[in-house]
Amino acid sequence: MRWTAVIAALAACNGGGDCTELASGGWTTDGAAGGGMEMTGTLTMDAKTCTFTMTDWSMAMTNLPDGGTVDGDQVTLSGADIPVGCVGTASEDGTSVEGACEDGSAFSMHQG
């Protein structure tokens, strides 16, 4: 029974794989991740589920990501009014992400 719980917990993070843990704290975003301009917000990572939230944006706008998922080093942003299919690659140390969306718009995110 205990091994089943351990295996289930591991499987919750990317089908049993590891994910790059993004650094929690203040982040600066630009491009599609910042509503088309440089913005700051707070990223909170949940390494157990390989998900993160974005809150405390420097401006109140509707087209900002509210979080996302991490699969290996691939980061997918989520949010109601952001461009579709925003996927990027996290740095090995989890302090930056560079990517693009299906509409061709680019985005960047970095801690600090």
What are 43's strand-pairing partners?
A: 25, 54
Residue 87: burial class (beta carbons within 10 Å; 0-12, 13-18, 19+) = middle
Could you tell me the residue ranges of all domains in the chain?
2-111
Determine contact, residues 26/42, Cβ cutoff 8 Å: yes
Q: What is the mean pLDDT of residues 4-22?
A: 55
- The CA-atom distances, in angstroms, between 1 and each of 10, 11, 48, 49 are 15, 15, 20, 21
pTM for this model (two decimals): 0.82
Q: Torsion angle of alpha carbons 13, 15, 16, 21, nearest 10°?
A: -30
Which residues lie below 8 Å from residue 11, measured CB to CB, with a gap of 6+? none
Let me know: does 47 contact 21? Beta carbons within 8 Å: yes
Contact 77, 86 (CB under 8 A): yes
pLDDT band for position 112 (50/70/90)?
confident
Q: pLDDT by residue (tens digit) across 23-70?
A: 999 999 998 877 788 999 999 999 999 999 999 999 988 888 999 999
> Per residue in 93-105, pLDDT tens?
999 999 999 999 9
